Amino acid sequence: MLKIIRTADYAAMSRQAANIISAQVIQKPDCVLGLATGSSPIGTYQQLIDWYNKGDVDFSQVRTVNLDEYLALPRENDQSYYYFMHDNFFDHVNLPEGATNLPNGMAEDMAAECARYDALIESLGGVDLQLLGLGHDGHIGFNKPCGEFPKGPHVVDLAEETIEANKRFFASKDDVPRQAVTMGIGTIMAARKVVLVVSGADKAEIVKKAFFGPVTPQVPASILQMHPDVTVVADEAALSAL
């Protein structure tokens, strides 16, 4: 079932999403959280950090698995998702060392790495709550529009526009990652609960397509219409095309 929570703005969206996540952690202190990077969840992480600092939420038994990572980009690079997660969340709460997981985009054998990540998620007992953002073309994780929904973790080639857009963060275009590793749609759909945060008028058309249009791999997020427990937390601007 798909539930939409409408909020006034980004701050309220972030508070609502953080509320759902902290409720999950309170109900099941050793839960597995699936996490995302990007601009959409930053406020959610800030709110969770704030509540952690106030003593209202405890991450000491939580385990996390992130959606995706660039290939061939060392962890220390401030554009890596490893860096992002530590900078925006992990380093500010009491998640134990070793409780946080991201796919390793530096692995020599990426097929083995995808199999390892899949087995890791399975060994943790699956994801209790998966946090997602929504790309302008309907992508979730790095699952781009394509001919069929990919199942497990896999490597994707980045679109030329993405490489072009990311160029500004790197010394030269040659340093920009050309590939990424992502959880598949199957892994995301297997999460027991999904929370998708989306904000801004520039996402309004894709929100309409993804959640009110046909289910198609051309709009990867549309598959979430088939998930039993999805909450879309969206600000008014993101819902303005409905």
Site size toward ligand F6R, by CB under 6 A: 13
d(Cα 44, Cα 76) in Å, to the nearest integer? 24
Nearer to ligand F6R, 133 or 177 (CB): 133
Judged by CB under 6 A, which stretch of 18-26, 53-61, 129-137, 165-173 contacts ligand F6R?
A: 129-137
Residue 199 structure tokens: 């904000």
User: Quick one: which segment of 10-18, 47-55, 114-122, 136-144 binds ligand F6R (CB under 6 A)?
Assistant: 136-144
Complete DSSP assignment for 58-77: --TT-EEEESEEESS--TTS
Q: Given the complex with ligand F6R, which of 69 and 128 has the nearer CB atom?
A: 69
Complete edge-to-edge strand list for the sheet that includes strand 32-35? 2-7, 230-235, 193-198, 129-132, 32-35, 63-66, 100-101
Identify residue 3 by its one-letter amino acid code: K
- 103: DSSP letter: -
CB of residue 141 to ligand F6R, shortest distance in Å: 4
- Select from 34, 43, 141, 220 the one that contacts ligand F6R (CB under 6 A): 141
Question: Distances in Å between the alpha carbon of 126 and those of 28, 45, 67, 169, 171?
Answer: 14, 22, 13, 34, 38
36 makes contact with ligand F6R (CB under 6 A): yes
Considering the rule CB under 6 A, would residue 100 count as an interface residue with ligand F6R?
no
Binding of ligand F6R at residue 220 (CB under 6 A)? no
Q: Which is nearer to ligand F6R, 63 or 203 (CB)?
A: 203
Q: Which of 39, 53, 60, 94 binds ligand F6R (CB under 6 A)?
A: 39
C-beta closer to ligand F6R: residue 110 or 158: 158
Stretch that binds ligand F6R, among 36-44, 158-166, 219-227, 232-240 (CB under 6 A): 36-44
- Residue 133 engages ligand F6R in binding (rule: CB under 6 A): yes
Interface pick for ligand F6R out of 7, 14, 24, 40 (rule CB under 6 A): 40
CA angle 170, 176, 180 (to 5 degrees): 135
Answer for which of 48, 140, 234, 238 binds ligand F6R (CB under 6 A) is 140
CA dist list (Å): 170 to 68, 164, 167: 19, 11, 6
Whichever of 57 and 67 has its CB closer to ligand F6R, that residue is 67
By CB under 6 A, is residue 38 in contact with ligand F6R? yes
